[in-house]
Amino acid sequence: MEDLDTKTRILDAAEKLFSDNGFSAVSLRTIIKAAGVNTASVHYHFGSKDGLIAAVFERRATPVNAERLEMLDDIEAEHRSGPLPLKLVLQAFVFPVVRLRQDPKSERPMFARLMARLLNEPDPMAATIVHDTFTTIFARFSTAFARALPELPPEEIYIRIHFAVGAMAFSIAGPHFFGDHKPQGTQTNINHIMRSLVDFIEAGMRTPVTETVPGDET
């Protein structure tokens, strides 16, 4: 664990710290100490803190997105015509994010928390990273959702994808605010939560649009 090159050691240390505490709460000096490298090495290898964040994220996002697209390819191959099964599309969207488990001690996979953190980060740099690593995913799944929900107008699908992403991100990264109100026997296992999430989103996606009320134009 200590014989890896500087770059990897920085990435590993940063990944753990960022997923646990968020980006702005973790200083480069903390990462440097945890990785056991020199002060300036982060800037040498990654240019800036933002560059490091992007590198940490993209290292994991690439295989996750590849798996998402593979699963979607399989679904589309088996349903060349007619509507796609919505549940399968949703599973292809959600499950690969959770599958990658780097830290066996943690209940939730690091990449999932990392992604959720990035999605909720107000910093415009985060938005750029998200946009760049997810445009392909967004485009491919948008059309897949359109094929799974042929009666839903594209504008509504667009909005509902955002609801779905928000629900996913929050339930993955969100602190457990109301643990003191948690009913006995609540499943905190991430796989159970994600399956519950897929059911929730599926129903939300399927619901027909209600007629527009006057006075809503932007």
Partner DNA sequence: GTCTATACCACGATAGAC
Partner DNA sequence: GTCTATCGTGGTATAGAC
- Which of 4-12, 63-71, 89-97, 205-213 is the region at the interface with DNA (rule: CB under 7 A)? 4-12
Evaluate the CA torsion angle 138, 143, 147, 149 in order and state its sign: positive
Contacts (CB under 7 A) with DNA, residues 164-183? none
Q: Which of 4, 40, 66, 127 binds a second copy (CB under 8 A)?
A: 127
68 binds a second copy, rule: CB under 8 A: no
21 binds DNA, rule: CB under 7 A: no
Nearest-CA neighbor of 52 among 76, 35, 74? 35
159 binds DNA, rule: CB under 7 A: no
How far is 204 from 43, CA to CA, in rounded Å? 45
Q: Which of 41, 102, 106, 142 binds DNA (CB under 7 A)?
A: 41
How far is 174 from 186, CA to CA, in rounded Å? 16
Q: Which of 11, 14, 35, 37 binds DNA (CB under 7 A)?
A: 37
Which residue is associated with the tokens 């602190």? 175
105 binds a second copy, rule: CB under 8 A: no
22 binds DNA, rule: CB under 7 A: no
How far is 169 from 171, CA to CA, in rounded Å? 6
Closer to DNA by Cβ: residue 6 or 143: 6
Number of amino acids touching DNA (CB under 7 A):
21
20 binds DNA, rule: CB under 7 A: no
Helices (H), ranges, the chain: 6-21, 28-35, 41-46, 49-78, 86-99, 110-120, 124-148, 154-173, 190-206
Residues that bind DNA (CB under 7 A): 5-7, 26-30, 37-45, 47-50
